[in-house]
């Protein structure tokens, strides 16, 4: 069995398209004590033989301290767990030394919310890190760990400033294995309505763009 587990609440980022609560939190807010995490993992293993987990944190690698704490927990376990997690690709590219820590911790599947490889569109939504450096990190992960790391990339179609050509070009690069992702998801840009969602994203509030492709 694979169980969901949440190690912290909220997100330190505040992407313009996101309507999740607790965005923009401080890095040390709402994090479980490491002893609580360790006891939960051991209990599930001893009673149910569970070793596989989906980490539900909005961004697991938002701080290196959280990675280090989780690695310390895993090193002290009587078994080797395996994890799936939401990983911020630009942070991984900025701090490549954390990749080996994540792998040693047991990360075997990473979901990257890439959103776009168009620099201008990325800056509009709060993700302005060099897209090609992110692509290089995906290639580095594949060359380092082969098929032992499953990589999912999600993209948003219709971001302000991104053309149809840019979107098609990204897909072609993925199909040609220039960007060696294992799975790809495309989502249309939508504007939240208060009669459907309790909370709105910055894009919804400001109405600065439309799904135009």
**Is 37 within 8 Å of 70 (Cβ atoms)?**
yes
Residue that the structure tokens 């987990």 belong to: 53
Q: Kindly write down the DSSP assignment for every residue of 80-125, as one continuous string.
A: --EEEEEE-HHHHHH-TTHHHHHHHHTEEEEEEEEE-S-HHHHHHH
pLDDT for residue 208: 47
pTM for the full predicted model: 0.86
List the chain pLDDT tens, one digit each, 213 residues. Answer: 899 999 987 677 676 666 666 665 566 666 788 999 999 999 999 999 999 999 998 889 988 998 999 999 999 999 999 999 999 999 999 999 999 999 999 999 999 999 999 999 998 888 889 999 999 999 999 999 999 999 999 999 988 889 999 999 999 999 999 999 999 999 888 765 654 555 566 666 665 444 433
């Amino acid at each position: 069995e694979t169980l969901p587990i949440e190690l912290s609440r909220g997100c330190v980022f505040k992407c313009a398209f996101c309507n999740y609560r607790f965005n923009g939190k401080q890095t040390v807010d709402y994090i479980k004590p490491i002893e609580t995490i360790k006891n939960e993992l051991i209990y599930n293993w001893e009673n149910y033989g569970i070793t596989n987990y989906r980490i539900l944190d909005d961004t697991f690698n938002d701080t290196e301290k959280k990675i280090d704490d989780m690695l310390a927990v895993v090193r002290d376990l009587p078994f080797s767990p395996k994890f799936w997690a939401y990983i911020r690709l630009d942070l991984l590219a900025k701090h490549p030394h954390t990749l080996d820590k994540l792998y040693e911790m047991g990360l075997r599947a990473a979901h990257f919310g890439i959103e776009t490889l168009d620099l201008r569109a990325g800056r509009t939504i709060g993700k302005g890190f060099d897209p090609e450096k992110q692509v290089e990190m995906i290639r580095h992960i594949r060359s380092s760990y082969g098929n032992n790391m499953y990589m999912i990339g999600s993209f948003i179609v219709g971001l302000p400033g991104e053309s149809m050509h840019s979107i098609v070009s990204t897909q072609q690069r993925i199909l040609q294995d220039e960007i060696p992702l294992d799975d790809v998801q495309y989502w249309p840009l939508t504007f939240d309505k208060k009669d459907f969602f309790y909370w709105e994203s910055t894009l919804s509030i400001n109405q600065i763009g439309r799904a135009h492709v």
